[in-house]
Structure 1
Amino acid sequence: MKVAVDAMGGDSAPEVVIRGAVGYLKNNNDLSIVLVGKEKEIKKEFKKHKIDFPGNLEILNAHEKVLMRENFFSYWKKREKTSIKKALDLVKHKKAQAMISAGNTGAVMAIAKTVLGTLKRIERPALALMVPTLKGQSLLVDVGANVDSKPKNLVQFALMGKVFLESVIGIKNPRIALMSIGEEEAKGNELIKTTYNILKSMDINFVGNVEGRDVYIGVADLIVTDGFTGNVTLKVTEGVVDVMLSLLKREIMSSIVARLGFFLIKNSFKRIKKRMDYSEYGGALLLGVNGIVIIGHGGSSEKAIRSAIDLSKRFIKENVLDKISKEIERIHKQGRFKELSYG
């Protein structure tokens, strides 16, 4: 197995990416990694920090990198020379089985769709992210790939997420829910109501609608939504967590008694923080493209990079792309969903 890693992607690239990749290879000799990026910068980091160069690691030079907040028109002009494009080319030409980047999310999605294309019958890729819940974790799809979606897209998101959960996470017959403004079947806009009727008629474990407040409770293993709603949900959550941590820190520092109390329950807070830490989950999956693509958080740590690599390995081992294609084809052949009812 070989994984292409964008060495230039992320707020602390290339150092953190290099350390994450090298750290993973120290304990895993059944996989090799290609660091794609500015070769001189990468080698300089190895020398500067005295990092040993593993035998199952190689470097592929790329003259350009996409900045984290670079706009579409800017990176699109130079895309052919970027580390993102070079890494995706390796996947396209079967020289790597997966690609990982903690870089500009929009750039990775746009270039990946152009380079790899989509799986047969998949109209639009979706970003899928594992999120922590009171009962473990759930998969939220879509978290930002599509601002506008049709019922057909949401149905495909559900099927792709189902295959991932069954194959990689090991959840048999996962509970699938649709995000809406109420639990009742009649709640929601036309997109949600139409999608609800389609999912309800399918031979999947569809548990109905869930509201935004239910995402982190664990009422479903897979929550399906359009990319606009999913992304807003994610960003609101990040904001609330940041505010709560700031308020908590302020209260702890407000008195000696508060500090003493925190000291007594410090280990409990550490466990909670670990559960909420995105680095535990590696990154978001770009489901639906004809290749394995994992997009990490811009602030990814070494641990997050290692987690992303491990996730990609599990994805490869379970042959998830082929399983997704077969599931989509199976539903298509049933003939129950003509284009008009499919959206």
Structure 2
Amino acid sequence: MGTNSRPRIAIDAMGGDYGPQVMVPGAIQAARRRDIALRLVGNQEQIEQELSRTMVDGLEVDIVHADDVAKMGDKPSHIMRRKKDTSIQVAYKLVRENDADGVVSAGHTGATLACGMFALGRIKGIERPGLATVLPRENKPLLIIDVGANVDSKPRHLVQFAIMAEALAVNVLKTPEPQVGILSIGEEQGKGNVLVNEAYGLLARTSMNFVGNVEGRDIFQGDVDIVVCDGFVGNVVLKLSEGLGTAFSSMLRKELGRGFWAKLGGMLALPALKRFRRRLDYEEYGGAPLLGLNGASFVCHGSSGTRAIQSSVQMAGSYIRNRTNDDIRAGLEAHPEITRFHRLKHILHSSAGKGSGHNEESQDET
């Protein structure tokens, strides 16, 4: 598909807390703004009811019926084996059969990841797909990867995450030459655990704009565009950020309601508070892209509203239209050393052996 072609996105219309009443209007708004073709997957009657409430003239919108829904309590393995006609599986099947270019879902995250892996497969050279998220900041958005797809990662996986995130930042967030950092407990090289230090060595030898370690306190205030970490740490960072934002808003509302002067000050500051809220609104960027699959896949929060779905579909459209997966493949081809399935220790010792004159490579193989 050329860069000027109309992206075709399969929408898991039954996913999320609100199903078609949020998924359908959000997708329609995105299609109208960005010239996107929609494949609305789910219960045909419910989808038609939602479509009757909005204008679709001039849009390419198809309904693909699916009998079942992946429920939040279902295990991904159960969904894969026993529930073959869920809306998320049917949506991925459309991509596999070239009837769509990507999927957007706000449903069962585990099922979305599992079905995507099974139906689409991974880009050649990618061992672990990475779940990325975009967080708002004062000056520019921040991209974090991985935020939960892999709780146990190897150093080379973190480099693959960085390559995928760089392609996303350039093509979708329009960030030229993004700065890449690795999350650690100190700025100096050598700080952190074995995973971080070995990944640091690999990242430093790539052609990416790698700036070294990034501490947690600098995530929202620094200049780095991409923060790389394993999924365990990334998920903690993401949930902590979400919880902190919610707690801050709650405390602020309570304080502004304490007494006459506080209420008056709150009324005077209301325009500024509204602007502040918009700047921190996660719905501006919508879902989290699952990078590394043979197709675009965006996973939205279950409680996403219409605006978040619209944003996610628009991001998916940009991802497809700009052929982001092709750039990921090019990045992997430029760094074949991190796509080989052999021990990282072999790579590092081989490099160290050449510098010191010792044949540590042969020692590692024995």
Q: Could you state the TM-score of these two structures normalised by the residue count of structure 2?
A: 0.88
How far off its partner does 1:338 sit? 6.7
Specify the alignment match of 1:32 in structure 2.
37
> What is the distance in 2 between the residues matched to 1:334 and 1:187?
22
Contact (CA 8 Å) 2:164, 2:292: kept in 1 or not?
Answer: yes
> What is the distance in 2 between the residues matched to 1:139 and 1:302?
22
Contact (CA 8 Å) 2:138, 2:279: kept in 1 or not?
Answer: no
Specify the alignment match of 2:116 in structure 1.
112
How far off its partner does 1:70 sit? 3.0
Return closer, same or farther for 1:99/1:249 CA change in 2, 3 Å cut-off. same
How far off its partner does 1:74 sit? 3.7
Matched, 1:263 2:239: no
**CA offset digits 1:213-261 (Å, max 9, x no partner):** 2111133100000000000111111111111111111111111111111
Matched, 1:302 2:306: yes
Gaps of 5+ in 1: none
Deviates more, 1:316-325 or 1:161-170: 161-170
1:155 to 152, 159, 169: 159
How far off its partner does 1:108 sit? 0.4
**CA offset digits 1:179-229 (Å, max 9, x no partner):** 011112111111011001111122221111111121111331000000000
Matched residue SS, 2:38? strand
The one-letter code of the counterpart of 1:290 is N
Return closer, same or farther for 1:129/1:203 CA change in 2, 3 Å cut-off. same
How far off its partner does 1:66 sit? 1.0
Matched, 1:286 2:260: no
Matched, 1:51 2:57: no
Contact (CA 8 Å) 1:39, 1:61: kept in 2 or not?
Answer: yes
Gaps of 5+ in 2: 1-6, 349-366
Specify the alignment match of 2:188 in structure 1.
184
Contact (CA 8 Å) 1:135, 1:218: kept in 2 or not?
Answer: no
Matched residue SS, 1:80? coil
Contact (CA 8 Å) 2:156, 2:344: kept in 1 or not?
Answer: no
Matches within 5 A, 1:227-246: 227-246=231-250
Matched residue SS, 2:227? strand
Matched residue SS, 1:286? strand
Specify the alignment match of 1:9 in structure 2.
15
Contact (CA 8 Å) 1:134, 1:218: kept in 2 or not?
Answer: no
1:84 to 75, 84, 88: 88
> What is the distance in 2 between the residues matched to 1:226 and 1:334?
16
How far off its partner does 1:81 sit? 0.6
The one-letter code of the counterpart of 1:43 is E
Matched, 1:221 2:225: yes
Specify the alignment match of 2:362 in structure 1.
none
Contact (CA 8 Å) 1:36, 1:62: kept in 2 or not?
Answer: yes
Return closer, same or farther for 1:248/1:138 CA change in 2, 3 Å cut-off. same
Contact (CA 8 Å) 2:126, 2:339: kept in 1 or not?
Answer: no
Q: Could you state the TM-score of these two structures normalised by the residue count of structure 1?
A: 0.94
Return closer, same or farther for 1:220/1:4 CA change in 2, 3 Å cut-off. same
> What is the distance in 2 between the residues matched to 1:123 and 1:253?
52
2:278 to 260, 274, 277: 274
How far off its partner does 1:19 sit? 1.2
Return closer, same or farther for 1:335/1:145 CA change in 2, 3 Å cut-off. closer
1:123 to 122, 127, 141: 127
Deviates more, 1:324-333 or 1:218-227: 324-333
* Aligned Cα root-mean-square deviation (Å): 2.0
Contact (CA 8 Å) 1:68, 1:298: kept in 2 or not?
Answer: no
Contact (CA 8 Å) 1:133, 1:215: kept in 2 or not?
Answer: no
> What is the distance in 1 between the residues matched to 2:303 and 2:280?
15
Matched, 1:19 2:25: yes
> What is the distance in 2 between the residues matched to 1:201 and 1:284?
28
Question: Alignment identity in percent?
Answer: 39
How far off its partner does 1:327 sit? 1.0
Count of matched residue pairs: 340
1:97 to 74, 81, 101: 101
The one-letter code of the counterpart of 1:10 is G
The one-letter code of the counterpart of 2:264 is L
**CA offset digits 1:89-128 (Å, max 9, x no partner):** 1111111111100111111011101111100010000001
Return closer, same or farther for 1:253/1:291 CA change in 2, 3 Å cut-off. same
